[in-house]
Amino acid sequence: MALDFPSIDPVALALGPVQIRWYALAYLAGILLGWMYIKRLLSLYGENPRPTKEHIDDFMTWAILGVILGGRLGYILFYNLSYYFEHPAQILRVWEGGMSFHGGFLGVITAIILFSLKHKINMLRLGDLIVCAVPIGLFFGRISNFINGELFGRVTDVSWGIVFPYGGDLPRHPSQLYEAGLEGVLLFLVLFACSRVRAIRERSGLLAVIFIEGYALSRFIVEFFREPDAHVGYLVGGLTMGQILSLGMMLGASFLMGFVFYRHKKHDARS
């Protein structure tokens, strides 16, 4: 027995020829709510935090560019390079889909580094603030993936399997909802709790480590239930591209954690 796919129109609002899709609203909600949440988090760093609220306001434009450019470039390089090599005119057609979280993540990291160097602020602390808000965007993004009936899971016989409109006649895991729960709700709560612990907050970069490890582990697990891209399939050892990229994130987080503790140990030795 399978559940029916809910009849939700991917278009949230149509104004004549202009269509506003839930996917676009998900990006907007993630950015606006994340921006407000980050500014609230600044209060945990004392009366005169640095970066300041003005820095956060200015950085949002950089973050948006990092997400869009990095997400698109990541999708092209990681998932569909041969297609875009043959059809370069399609690269700019972002509205037709084709974004990679891992690429967007690298894009935002680049934005954080460049912005911090320009304004001479602690890039690890800026990174800590940004990652605490990322699960908000991930939650809305995965919900919109579900509404669109895309990025569905593998065929299953569990009672909550869903027959997706573009996934054939067999029930599949609603892997988008699994990701919304793990990468969105659970990871947000973990970071919320950790950000309230002074010992963690004072070690700039540690919240970023927790986010990277948490996301990578969540994504790695969900990939066992998610249908891999048809044109990519399974790779080394039966792993998916998402799992391989997540392993890379885990490795990067391990190096970052070593740097964070080395940096603070060196700072404590000087005190």
Q: What is the mean pLDDT of each run of 10 residues along the chain (271 residues)?
A: 85 85 89 95 87 95 92 86 79 71 92 96 95 96 92 95 93 97 97 95 94 97 92 89 94 94 72 54
- Check residue 267 and give its pLDDT: 63
CB 196 within 8 A of CB 44: yes
CA dihedral sign of residues 218, 223, 229, 235: positive
Could you tell me which residues come within 8 angstroms of residue 20 by beta carbon, excluding any fewer than 6 positions away? Answer: 11, 12, 13, 14
- Check residue 271 and give its pLDDT: 54
Distance CA 125, CA 131 (A): 10
- Candidates 29, 9, 18; CA nearest to 142 is 29
Give the burial string for 28-44 (b: 16+ CB within 10 Å, else e). ebbbeebbebbbebbee
CB 163 within 8 A of CB 2: yes
- Check residue 229 and give its pLDDT: 82
Q: Tokens 């909550």 correspond to what residue?
A: 160
Q: Name the residue range of residue 88's domain.
A: 3-270
Q: Is 234 exposed, middle or buried (0-12, 13-18, 19+ CB in 10 A)?
A: exposed
- Check residue 270 and give its pLDDT: 62
Q: Which residues make beta-bridge pairs with 15?
A: 18
CB 6 within 8 A of CB 15: no
Could you tell me which residues come within 8 angstroms of residue 226 by beta carbon, excluding any fewer than 6 positions away? Answer: 151, 152, 153, 154, 173, 175, 178, 179, 240, 242
- Check residue 15 and give its pLDDT: 83
In this structure, the chain runs to a length of 271
- Check residue 95 and give its pLDDT: 61
Number of structural domains found in the chain: 1
- Candidates 124, 118, 106; CA nearest to 63 is 106
- Check residue 268 and give its pLDDT: 61
pTM of the predicted model as reported, rounded to 2 decimal places = 0.90
- Check residue 244 and give its pLDDT: 95
